[in-house]
């Protein structure tokens, strides 16, 4: 870390919401550029900055600020310039000059300790003094709070959140109980609160600390995909992480359960601990699923077999018995789950179901968990499909929490809801979706239960299927042209624990055997850059070929692949602008992916059919960098060749290079061609589930490059990471009691 003393010369950019600033400052005899979060910055200020020097590809050397402390000027000229800057409401250049002429070097002392003396100056009355007093006090308050918390490694942005929540009481409240930060302020972790507490001398056995530590351990555990944590495991980790006794942990668990801060449930002789949000999500889903499965709905007085036959004739197809069962089930039941692998006709079934419903005047909504999945659903059916978030009209609250407009009080107004790619839906999203489904509305859930589970907590699709509460149809027959595809055939072979058929002539599934990681890397690059585009002239190396890796790290992980591929597929050029952001160098033309839902980003349509503009870019959306604006410090991305988004620097941590993406991130997407590097990795990760999900993302061609040993290992390894959830148990319990 470096430290510099500067005077603010000019502010180039400032975001008032989060305090992010780009400014020009004077350091000794030279002018430098600083970037960072400095919420109270004004021209003319003297600042003491701590941070690091970085080199921007276009703008050269800059100072990236980690912490900041204001140094008040001590000369007459400096004091006047500071007061004239506008940093204190009610004081402009004229008033600043009068104050300095009246009080000289004592001006700050008057403002802080004897502000009524400002009445001695002509033109300053009670009203103006009140404005000055309030503004000066607020500035001082915020600065004191930032100085206090930055000693404990709290970021400037976090300081702002603390101040917004607790105002002038911030320091007092946190000194009394630092752990309140983890409960009251989003994004505040236990470790930061614990560091503050340790410095303040709070004991390890403090009830605040133990209670907060328990929730921290549960949240860390649930971050791996669980909705709850076994009690014995929680106590074991609590002893290790918190350094307290088993007795103290049990006392805290009982107290916090009594206070309603956690929930303890017993299932099959074992105790499980929930944080409140996931507990109520499980309860809510259980109640709604049972209600929908047992509830009344308007029955269609139609000849179903006749409707199915008519659809078959119009589309020149013949449904398998399981496919007919799925269609009939959707028409006869209030809720149905349709599950099956690639090529089993899920999309065709959705088409048939929606057409029959609409033929008889029923409104049908279609949705999927991600933007890409929704787009695929819309293209395949010829009907509008939305993300679940958009269907529920999502927005953001003050603390960046997700808020839905569609709820139990304001439900979705339709007769049928069809949801695709349901394996990706976590416990929270499913809970919010079900809340908005009114009684009498049919719900059809479609997905491949053998794919990877959701990134978020829960194993919702599998739990619902295994609860035996809902009508479930499993599709096994490979449908029509898919029967000729080695992709579909091999996907089912892998799912059944069999070695796929490799390198059959004139087919769509190939394997290149190599055990050397560096040679695998070279082959992958050669395939996407030269061999595959040469093999099929219609394949664009950037748009149609996607590399999927099992991992992020290592030579064949996503991070390294993206660095190598960037220089091959989008090489540096004098006519391509670049922008360095943290560890990533973005270049015009780069393929990128949005990695979190952002409901505030605005987009404008540049192609395609639909609204001309809107708000919201979602996790998994992929596009290309169209332009980098150096002057305004922005970056423009066009997603799916349809929507243009201008990113300010503060949002760039939501973008990453996407020449290669993880198999997890590919869920819900489909690409004409995929290339998968196959290598040995952690057994919990390298399993059948992962390989199956990867190859099912391909539409026209799969090429696996790597070790045959690793492929066999993944196919034989059918142990997926166990997820703790009581959703299935809850539904079964109630249904058994009802029967």
Annotated binding site for ATP: 343-347
Indicate left, alpha or beta for 616 from its phi (over 0: left) and psi (-120 to 50: alpha): left
CA distance 581 to 447: 37
Residue 630, number of CB atoms within 10 A of its CB: 13
Q: 218 near 196, Cβ under 8 Å?
A: no
Burial of residue 437, with CB atoms counted within 10 A of its CB: 0-12 exposed, 13-18 middle, 19 or more buried: buried
DSSP β-bridge partners for residue 50: 3, 67
Tokens standing for residue 691: 């390989």
Backbone angles phi, psi at 605, to 5 degrees: -75, 130
Q: 459 near 422, Cβ under 8 Å?
A: no
Residue closest to 637 by CA, chosen among 656, 614, 660, 650: 656
**What is the helix (H) or strand (E) element at residue 367, kind and residue range?**
strand 364-368
CA distance 677 to 660: 11
CA distance 143 to 682: 47
Look-up of token digits 């002509």: 122
Residue 580, number of CB atoms within 10 A of its CB: 16
Query: Which residues are known binding-site members?
Result: 343-347
CA distance 283 to 430: 12
CA distance 257 to 214: 11
DSSP β-bridge partners for residue 52: 64
Q: Roughly how many angstroms between the first and final C-alpha of the chain, as a whole number?
A: 67
Residue closest to 388 by CA, chosen among 415, 363, 420: 420
Residues constituting the chain:
739
Half-sphere exposure of 480 (CA within 13 A, CB side): 12
**What is the helix (H) or strand (E) element at residue 231, kind and residue range?**
helix 231-242
**What is the helix (H) or strand (E) element at residue 128, kind and residue range?**
helix 126-150
Pairing relationship of beta strands 545-549 and 20-27 according to DSSP bridges: unpaired
Distances (CA, A) of 553 to 561, 654, 662, 681: 9, 19, 10, 10
Q: 476 near 340, Cβ under 8 Å?
A: yes
Give helix then strand counts, H and E, for the chain: 26, 30
Look-up of token digits 């005047």: 361
SS3 530: helix
Q: 708 near 575, Cβ under 8 Å?
A: no
Burial of residue 239, with CB atoms counted within 10 A of its CB: 0-12 exposed, 13-18 middle, 19 or more buried: middle
SS3 713: helix
């Amino acid at each position: 870390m470096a430290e510099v003393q500067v005077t603010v010369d000019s502010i180039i950019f400032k975001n008032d919401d989060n305090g992010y600033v780009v400014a020009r400052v004077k350091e000794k005899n030279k002018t430098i550029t600083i970037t960072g979060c400095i919420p109270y910055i004004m021209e003319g200020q003297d600042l003491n900055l701590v941070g690091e020097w970085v080199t921007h590809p276009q703008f050269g050397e800059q100072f990236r600020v980690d912490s900041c402390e204001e140094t008040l000027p001590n000369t007459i000229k400096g004091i006047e310039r500071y007061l004239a800057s506008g940093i204190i409401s009610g004081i402009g250049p004229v008033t600043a000059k009068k104050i300095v002429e009246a009080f000289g070097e004592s001006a700050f002392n008057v403002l802080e300790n004897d502000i009524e003396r400002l009445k001695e100056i002509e033109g300053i009355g009670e009203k103006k003094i009140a404005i000055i007093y309030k503004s000066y006090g607020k500035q001082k308050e915020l600065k004191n709070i930032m100085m206090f918390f930055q000693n404990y490694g709290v970021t400037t942005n976090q300081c702002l959140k603390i101040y917004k929540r607790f105002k002038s009481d911030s320091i007092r409240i946190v000194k009394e109980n630092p752990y309140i930060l983890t409960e009251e302020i989003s994004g505040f972790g236990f470790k930061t609160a614990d560091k503050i507490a340790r410095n303040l001398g709070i004991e390890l056995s403090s009830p605040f600390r133990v209670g907060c530590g328990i929730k921290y351990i549960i949240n860390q555990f649930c971050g791996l995909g669980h909705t709850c944590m076994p009690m014995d495991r929680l106590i074991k980790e609590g002893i290790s992480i918190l350094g307290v006794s088993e007795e103290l942990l049990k006392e805290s668990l009982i107290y916090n359960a009594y206070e309603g801060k956690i929930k303890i449930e017993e299932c099959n002789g074992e105790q499980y601990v929930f944080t409140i949000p996931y507990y109520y999500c499980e309860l809510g889903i259980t109640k709604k699923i049972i209600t929908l499965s047992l509830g009344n709905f308007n029955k269609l007085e139609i000849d179903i077999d006749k409707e199915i036959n008519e659809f078959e004739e119009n589309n020149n197809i013949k449904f398998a018995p399981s496919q007919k069962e799925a269609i009939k089930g959707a028409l006869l039941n209030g809720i149905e789950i349709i599950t099956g692998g690639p090529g089993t006709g899920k999309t065709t079934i959705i088409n048939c179901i929606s057409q029959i419903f609409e033929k008889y005047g029923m409104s049908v909504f279609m949705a999927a968990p991600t933007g890409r999945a929704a787009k695929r659903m819309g293209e395949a059916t010829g009907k509008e499909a939305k993300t679940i978030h958009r269907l529920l009209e999502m927005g953001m609250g003050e603390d960046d929490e997700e808020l839905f407009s569609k709820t139990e009080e304001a439900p979705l107004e339709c007769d049928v809801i069809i949801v695709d790619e349901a394996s990706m839906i976590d416990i929270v999203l499913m809970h919010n979706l079900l809340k908005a489904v009114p009684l009498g509305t049919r719900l059809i859930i479609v997905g491949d239960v053998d794919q990877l589970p959701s990134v978020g907590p829960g194993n919702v699709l599998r739990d619902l299927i295994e609860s035996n509460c809902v009508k479930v149809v499993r599709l096994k027959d490979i449908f029509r042209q898919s029967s000729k595809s080695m992709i579909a055939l091999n996907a089912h072979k892998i799912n059944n624990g069999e070695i796929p058929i490799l390198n059959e002539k004139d087919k769509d599934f190939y394997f290149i055997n190599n055990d050397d990681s560096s040679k695998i890397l070279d082959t992958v690059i050669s395939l996407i850059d030269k061999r595959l585009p040469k093999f099929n002239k219609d394949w664009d190396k950037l748009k149609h070929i996607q590399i999927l890796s099992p991992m992020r790290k290592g030579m064949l992980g996503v991070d390294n692949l993206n660095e190598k591929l960037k220089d091959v597929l989008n090489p540096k050029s004098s006519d391509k602008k670049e922008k360095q952001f943290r560890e990533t160098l973005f270049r015009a033309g780069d393929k990128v992916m949005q990695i979190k839902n952002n409901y505030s980003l605005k987009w404008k349509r540049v192609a395609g059919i639909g609204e001309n503009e809107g708000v919201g870019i979602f996790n998994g959306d992929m596009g290309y960098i169209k332009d980098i604006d150096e002057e305004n410090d922005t970056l423009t991305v066009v997603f799916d060749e349809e929507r243009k988004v201008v990113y300010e620097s503060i949002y760039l941590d939501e973008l990453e290079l996407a020449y290669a993406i993880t198999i997890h991130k590919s869920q819900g997407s489909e690409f004409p061609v995929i290339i998968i590097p196959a290598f040995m990795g952690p057994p919990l990760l390298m399993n059948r589930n992962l390989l199956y999900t990867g190859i099912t993302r391909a539409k026209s061609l799969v090429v696996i490059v790597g070790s045959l040993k690793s492929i066999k290992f993944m196919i034989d390894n059918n142990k997926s990471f166990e997820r703790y959830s009581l959703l299935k148990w809850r539904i079964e319990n109630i249904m058994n009691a009802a029967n």
